[in-house]
C-alpha cells in the first residue's frame, strides 16, 4: 500500500467512528512491515474511561492477528488541526514500534509526518524494566 492509499484508509474510517459525546471522529490505518494494513476508529463510551482511540483499535486488531512489526500509521481527523495520537496511543505504539512513522492528517488532507520518537521523546520501553 502506498502512502496515499494508507491515508485514504484512515480517512475512510472516520465514518465508522462512534462518537456520540465528543463528536470528534478519528480514523487510523496501521501498516505492518509485510504490507498488511489494519484500520481502526475511535469508539466512545458514556463512562469516558472505557473509550478507545482509533490507533489502539488498529494496534489491537493487528496484535490479535499476530502482527507486531509496524512501520507507519496514518491518523485522520475532521478538525483544522492535525490529528495527533494522544499520550496513551503514543505509548502503545512505543511498545511495538519505537521507529514508526506517524502521519497526522487534518480535515483538508494536509499531513504532518513525524517519527514517534519526536512525539514521545522519552517513551517508556522495556529497557526501564531491566529487559
The torsion region of residue 130 among left (phi > 0), alpha (psi -120 to 50) and beta comes to left
Catalytic (active site) residue 118: no
| Of 15, 44, 55, 101, catalytic | 55
Cell numbers linked to 14 = 472516520
Q: 3-class SS at 28? A: strand
Cell numbers linked to 37 = 494494513
Q: How far is CA 47 from CA 17, 50, 53, 89, 105, in A?
A: 17, 6, 14, 19, 28
The total of other beta-carbon atoms located within 10 Å of residue 99's CB is 11
Which residues form the catalytic set?
55
Amino acid at each position: 500500500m502506498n502512502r496515499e492509499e494508507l491515508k485514504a484508509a484512515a480517512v475512510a474510517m472516520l465514518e465508522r467512528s462512534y462518537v456520540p459525546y465528543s463528536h470528534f471522529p478519528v480514523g487510523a490505518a496501521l501498516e505492518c512491515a509485510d504490507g498488511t494494513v489494519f484500520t481502526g476508529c475511535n469508539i466512545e463510551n458514556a463512562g469516558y474511561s472505557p473509550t478507545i482511540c482509533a490507533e489502539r483499535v488498529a494496534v489491537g486488531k493487528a496484535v490479535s492477528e499476530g502482527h507486531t512489526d509496524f512501520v507507519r500509521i496514518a491518523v485522520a481527523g475532521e478538525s483544522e488541526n492535525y490529528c495527533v495520537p494522544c499520550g496513551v496511543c503514543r505509548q502503545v505504539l512505543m511498545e511495538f514500534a519505537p521507529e514508526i512513522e506517524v502521519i497526522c492528517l487534518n480535515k483538508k488532507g494536509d499531513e504532518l509526518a513525524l517519527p514517534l520518537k519526536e512525539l514521545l521523546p522519552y517513551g517508556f520501553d522495556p529497557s526501564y524494566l531491566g529487559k
